[in-house]
Amino acid sequence: MSGDGGGRGNNGGKGGGGGNGVLRRVLRNPLGLVSAVVLALIVLAVLFAPLLSPQGPNVASLRDSFGGPTGGHPLGFDSAGRDMVARLLYGGRNTLGGALLALVVALVIGVPSGLLAGYRGGRFDAAASWVVNLVMALPAMVVLLASRAILGPTVWVLMVVLGVLISPSFFRLVRGVVAGVRGELYVDAARVAGLSDARIVARHVLIVVRAPIIIQTALVAGIAIGLQAGLEFLGVGSGSTPTWGAMLNEAFGNIQRAPTMIVWPGLALGLTSASLVLLASALRDALEDRGAPAARRKARRGGSGLVSSELASPELVSPGLVSSEPAPSESVLSESAPSEPAPSGPVSGEVGERAELLSVRGLRVAYDLADGTVKEVVHGVDIDVRAGEIVGLVGESGSGKTQTAFSVLGILPEGGRVAGGSVTVAGTEIVGLDERAHRALRGTVVAYVPQEPMSNLDPSFTIGTQLTEPMRYKLKISRAEARKRALDLLRQVEITDPERVFASYPHQISGGMAQRVLIAGAMSCDPDLLIADEPTTALDVLVQAEVLGLLRRLQRERGMGVLLVTHNLGVVADVCDRVAVMHDGRIVETGTAEQILHAPEEPYTRRLLGAVLDRAPARGAWKGETA
């Protein structure tokens, strides 16, 4: 019913504690405060019903039926002459109590079974999931009505049945979150450290499930109250017990005679239910903000490990949704002098004459953060790429190199923008250029090869469709012609069975193959300039060498200019003509590949080189093959 499974489950996992902070945050949220206060008032009023109500809920005097408000009876009387205030307060006891019972039953069944199924998996999981699917396929109303026929018209028994029927929502939630956590490294670590399952569940797993369960409980409480009142409205409950649903039923039956009677139980029910749902959403905000304080909407381009750090696969470091790139925190330090475009020292040697293919001058990139502040991540970058040359843009992750590349392409993520400077692509100034004109350049003049091959292909379309679609749109060619070109491109990127790959879906091909497809896609509209963002980082070492060789070959054949973004100095040594070293949003040194690799001037560049030299022998082996 809630439709919101775990999903964002494991944030703030290890934090623990913090209950007070959450409460404070909920109460600081106006909606959270209002709903908590309303809910507290309702609960208190209902608890103290005997003190607050003028008479018992079933005291009736026919003389007063449909009577309007009087001194001691502020809401008047119902059709049987019973006091409305008393009915409301006592009815609230039964309505809320019934919902609470259903909720407890659902929690008692759903949470432990979900924990066990999620943590253990295997046969219990399969069996439990089957039962849950069965319960969810049951028509709840029929079951509830039938159980009334079977078990008799007591509200409480019906509520137990209702609890069973809604327990799957807890089971599924808990199972999903726990199954997600089970594979986490810290749980593995605890297991390796020899903690018993019970302790691991208690110490590490429960903490993660706690927040989603609290949110779900508030939501389900609202649903349970609604369902319960609905049942009572149908007249399923016992007649004499006052409940809000029964009051609504009675009022609806007399809607023509006393139209205002429906207002009070309706208001009570609506307020309670709405407060619960609003409280749930305030709780969600409070619980989920924890642990991901700032910078969550920053560009999440897969950063990469530290420069050539020994982490073989960059996936370990970056590409999760909430990446924690070190970039923002570092650049905060340099924020004191944000806009100064690094005037002195080792900027590019050719400040005066600008290259005709790509020329970047004083580029600044900034992000508008959620709290209204602006964070600059690129502080005045100069780069030139001429036709027929490969320029490496090197730096550690978070140095702003990908942001620079995205600016040239005009594909900065949400919130990011070019804050200053000039970028010309084949003579066209693109800073301030309108989106349509910029789009016209993409594909045909400047093209893009991304980092992660698999995540950059649309999983729903075949390779062929994805290759031909831009060609048909940009070059206005027929389907058949586009197909011919696409197959030809696949051959050019050294794919042996182009027909098969053309008809395949992305999940059916390997990562190396996917990267070739992406290179073919970038080439498809004959661009003059290629922006390749870490094109080999996500690949196996052997495949890396092949793809680099391929890029080099295509670049020579076509006379393209290439801006190659990389953190890997080995790649630079292999294919780049010139290199720009980037650090903290600035270019610290530029020069030919020879100069940078053999006679670096800047201490930062020397540090980069130092980090890579340890691995030099490993690289030498495949370098020979490609050259």
Partner 1 sequence: MLSFVARRVAAGVVLLFVISLLSYLLLSIPDLDVGRQLLGSNAPQATVDAKNAELGLDRPVFVQYADWLAHAVRGDFGTSWFTGENVVQALSTRLPVTVSLMLGVTGVTAVLSLLLGVWAGVRRGVADRVVQVLGVLGYALPGFLVTLIIVVVFAVKLRWFPAIGYTDIAESVPGWLSTITLPVASLSVAGVAGVSQQVRGAVIDVLRRDYVRTLRARGLPPSRVLFRHVLRNAAAPALTVLGMQFVGLLGGAVLVEQIFGLPGIGSMTVTYTTRGDIPVIMALVSVTVVGVIAVNLLVDVLIGWLDPKARTA
Q: Provide the minimum distance between the beta carbon of 608 and partner 1 in the complex, in angstroms, as a whole number.
A: 27
**97 to 116, contacts with partner 1 by CB under 8 A?**
none
- Give the residue, chosen from 181, 390, 441, 560, that forms a contact with partner 1 under the rule CB under 8 A: 441
Mask 178-217, x = binds partner 1 (CB under 8 A)? ----------------------------------------
Q: Provide the minimum distance between the beta carbon of 273 and partner 1 in the complex, in angstroms, as a whole number.
A: 5
Amino acid at 93: R
Nearer to partner 1, 66 or 505 (CB): 505
**467 to 506, contacts with partner 1 by CB under 8 A?**
469-470, 473-474, 505
User: Do residues 466 and 501 make contact, with C-beta atoms less than 8 angstroms apart?
Assistant: no
Q: Provide the minimum distance between the beta carbon of 458 and partner 1 in the complex, in angstroms, as a whole number.
A: 5
Stretch that binds partner 1, among 182-190, 361-369, 391-399, 517-525 (CB under 8 A): 517-525
- Give the residue, chosen from 64, 382, 396, 452, that forms a contact with partner 1 under the rule CB under 8 A: 452
**307 to 366, contacts with partner 1 by CB under 8 A?**
none
Query: Which residue, among 288, 274, 293, has the nearest Cα to 210 in the 3D structure?
Result: 288
End-to-end CA distance of the chain: 60
Nearer to partner 1, 273 or 537 (CB): 273
CA distances from 252 to 38, 246, 263 (A): 25, 10, 10
Q: Provide the minimum distance between the beta carbon of 602 and partner 1 in the complex, in angstroms, as a whole number.
A: 31
- Give the residue, chosen from 424, 456, 537, 566, that forms a contact with partner 1 under the rule CB under 8 A: 456
Stretch that binds partner 1, among 80-88, 199-207, 458-466, 598-606 (CB under 8 A): 458-466
Q: Which helix (H) or strand (E) holds 499?
A: helix 498-503
User: Residue 77 gets which letter from DSSP?
Assistant: B
3-state secondary structure 100-134: HHHHHHHHHHHHHHHHHHHHHCHHHHHHHHHHHHH
DSSP conformation letters of 548-581: HHHHHHHHHHHT-EEEEEES-HHHHHHH-SEEEE
Nearer to partner 1, 297 or 558 (CB): 297
- The reply on whether position 448 binds partner 1 by CB under 8 A is yes
Q: Provide the minimum distance between the beta carbon of 305 and partner 1 in the complex, in angstroms, as a whole number.
A: 18
* CA atoms of 74 and 72, how far apart (whole Å): 6
Q: Provide the minimum distance between the beta carbon of 243 and partner 1 in the complex, in angstroms, as a whole number.
A: 13
Strand 529-533 to strand 416-425: parallel, antiparallel, or no bridges (unpaired)? unpaired
Burial of 184 (0-12, 13-18, 19+ CB in 10 A): middle
Neighbours of 121 (CB within 10 A): 14
Strand 428-429 to strand 446-449: parallel, antiparallel, or no bridges (unpaired)? unpaired
User: Do residues 369 and 331 make contact, with C-beta atoms less than 8 angstroms apart?
Assistant: no
**Which pair of structure tokens corresponds to residue 622?**
């495949």
Q: Provide the minimum distance between the beta carbon of 225 and partner 1 in the complex, in angstroms, as a whole number.
A: 7
Nearer to partner 1, 86 or 463 (CB): 463
**120 to 149, contacts with partner 1 by CB under 8 A?**
133-134, 136-142, 145-149
Q: Provide the minimum distance between the beta carbon of 80 and partner 1 in the complex, in angstroms, as a whole number.
A: 20
Nearer to partner 1, 1 or 374 (CB): 1
**277 to 296, contacts with partner 1 by CB under 8 A?**
277-278, 281
* CA atoms of 225 and 31, how far apart (whole Å): 20
**Which pair of structure tokens corresponds to residue 423?**
């970028």
Nearer to partner 1, 229 or 287 (CB): 229
* CA atoms of 492 and 501, how far apart (whole Å): 13
Nearer to partner 1, 147 or 359 (CB): 147
Q: Which helix (H) or strand (E) holds 613?
A: helix 603-613
Query: Which residue, among 416, 438, 351, has the nearest Cα to 585 in the 3D structure?
Result: 416
* CA atoms of 5 and 215, how far apart (whole Å): 11
Nearer to partner 1, 327 or 545 (CB): 327
Q: Provide the minimum distance between the beta carbon of 521 and partner 1 in the complex, in angstroms, as a whole number.
A: 7
Q: Provide the minimum distance between the beta carbon of 396 and partner 1 in the complex, in angstroms, as a whole number.
A: 21
User: Residue 415 gets which letter from DSSP?
Assistant: T
Torsion of CA 381, 386, 390, 394, to 10 degrees: -10
Strand 529-533 to strand 561-566: parallel, antiparallel, or no bridges (unpaired)? parallel
Q: Provide the minimum distance between the beta carbon of 401 and partner 1 in the complex, in angstroms, as a whole number.
A: 16
**578 to 607, contacts with partner 1 by CB under 8 A?**
none
Nearer to partner 1, 124 or 461 (CB): 461
Nearer to partner 1, 85 or 447 (CB): 447
Nearer to partner 1, 328 or 600 (CB): 328
Q: Provide the minimum distance between the beta carbon of 79 and partner 1 in the complex, in angstroms, as a whole number.
A: 17
* CA atoms of 527 and 120, how far apart (whole Å): 53
Q: Provide the minimum distance between the beta carbon of 472 and partner 1 in the complex, in angstroms, as a whole number.
A: 10
**376 to 435, contacts with partner 1 by CB under 8 A?**
409, 411, 413-414
Torsion of CA 313, 316, 317, 321, to 10 degrees: 130
Rounded to the nearest 5 percent, the helix, strand and coil shares of the chain are: 55, 10, 35
Nearer to partner 1, 20 or 256 (CB): 256
**15 to 74, contacts with partner 1 by CB under 8 A?**
none
- Give the residue, chosen from 214, 430, 518, 593, that forms a contact with partner 1 under the rule CB under 8 A: 518
**Which pair of structure tokens corresponds to residue 332?**
């905060």
Neighbours of 480 (CB within 10 A): 9
User: Do residues 350 and 383 make contact, with C-beta atoms less than 8 angstroms apart?
Assistant: no
Nearer to partner 1, 353 or 414 (CB): 414
Q: Which helix (H) or strand (E) holds 592?
A: strand 586-592
How many chain residues bind partner 1 (CB under 8 A)? 75
Strand partners, 73: 70
- Give the residue, chosen from 40, 44, 127, 151, that forms a contact with partner 1 under the rule CB under 8 A: 151
Query: Which residue, among 546, 596, 618, 542, has the nearest Cα to 393 in the 3D structure?
Result: 596
**233 to 272, contacts with partner 1 by CB under 8 A?**
233-234, 236, 248, 252, 255-256, 259, 262, 266, 269-270
- Give the residue, chosen from 82, 93, 442, 516, that forms a contact with partner 1 under the rule CB under 8 A: 442
CA 94 centroid distance within chain: 41
